[in-house]
């Protein structure tokens, strides 16, 4: 069954809504330029109230390993979603939590980049998001499903592929059928406005993603 991550959580009501609807993971964005940014102290209060077996994922952009580890300790984050293109192999290895490495899939992306990252760091969990020249996530842009299917097939040889970008309750079921990913990730596709989730959209998304 496909795993589902609901990202851009900013409040307890949305967190519990997603968890009770069957989300496997919730994403908390610690990138201050994001409209869905949440302060670590606020994230901790939400994470402390989550039911068991729901993973808390921290989204980090250009944070140092020390910053990442401190926020993880403070909040209870168990998975680090790492967006920094410039982070060295040495620094990745300093991160104490499990790493979900993000690749933005543009015209020049090659799945060999993910395999090389795996060979160098041992990280086998990847999130593939649609490339946008101005935004990191929450773009509403979708990766071509046939291309995503090829990426998922190749990554399955050495790791786990999660896909984000332009997903919503209307298209996630067909996407999962074609791509057969380990997991899917959604933020703007289940919102009523930036930073606030729509209960109906969240429930439908999770139901349809897991129905395949």
Backbone angles phi, psi at 2, to 5 degrees: -65, 135
Better-predicted residue by pLDDT, 140 or 193: 193
Measured CA to CA, the distance from residue 175 to residue 143 in angstroms comes to 10
Q: What is the domain count for the chain? A: 1
Q: Please give the positions annotated as active site.
A: 7, 129
CA distance 92 to 210: 31
**CA–CA dist 61, 77 (Å, integer):** 15
Is residue 139 scored above 80 in pLDDT? no
- CA dist 143 and 181 (Å) reads 13
Whether residue 74 has pLDDT greater than 90: yes
Convert the pLDDT of each residue in 145-174 to its tens digit.
999 999 999 999 999 999 999 999 999 999
pLDDT band with cut points at 50, 70 and 90 for residue 60: very high
- Any idea which residue has 């069954």 for tokens? 1
Question: Is the per-residue pLDDT at 136 higher than 60?
Answer: no
The pair of structure tokens assigned to 46 is 């939400």
Range of the domain at 39: 3-209
Neighbours of 106 (CB within 10 A): 11
The CATH number given to whatever domain includes residue 126 is: 3.20.20.70
């Amino acid at each position: 069954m496909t795993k589902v991550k609901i990202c851009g959580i900013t409040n307890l009501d949305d967190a519990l809504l997603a968890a009770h609807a069957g989300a496997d993971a919730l994403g908390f964005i610690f990138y201050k330029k994001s409209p869905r940014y949440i302060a670590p102290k606020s994230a901790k209060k939400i994470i402390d109230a989550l039911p068991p077996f729901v993973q808390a994922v921290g989204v980090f952009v250009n944070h140092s390993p020390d910053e990442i580890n401190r926020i993880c300790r403070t909040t209870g984050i168990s998975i680090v979603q790492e967006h920094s293109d410039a982070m060295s192999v040495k620094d990745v290895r300093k991160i104490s939590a499990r790493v979900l490495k993000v690749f933005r899939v543009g015209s020049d992306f090659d799945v060999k980049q993910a395999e090389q990252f795996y060979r160098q760091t041992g990280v086998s969990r990847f999130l593939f998001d649609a490339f946008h020249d101005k935004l990191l996530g929450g773009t509403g842009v979708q990766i071509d499903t046939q291309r995503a299917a090829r990426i998922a097939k190749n990554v399955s040889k050495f790791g786990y592929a999660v896909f984000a970008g332009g997903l919503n309750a209307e298209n996630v079921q067909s996407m999962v059928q074609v791509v057969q990913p380990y997991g899917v990730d959604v933020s703007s596709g289940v919102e009523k406005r930036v930073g606030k989730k729509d209960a109906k959209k969240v429930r439908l998304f999770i139901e349809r993603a897991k129905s395949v």
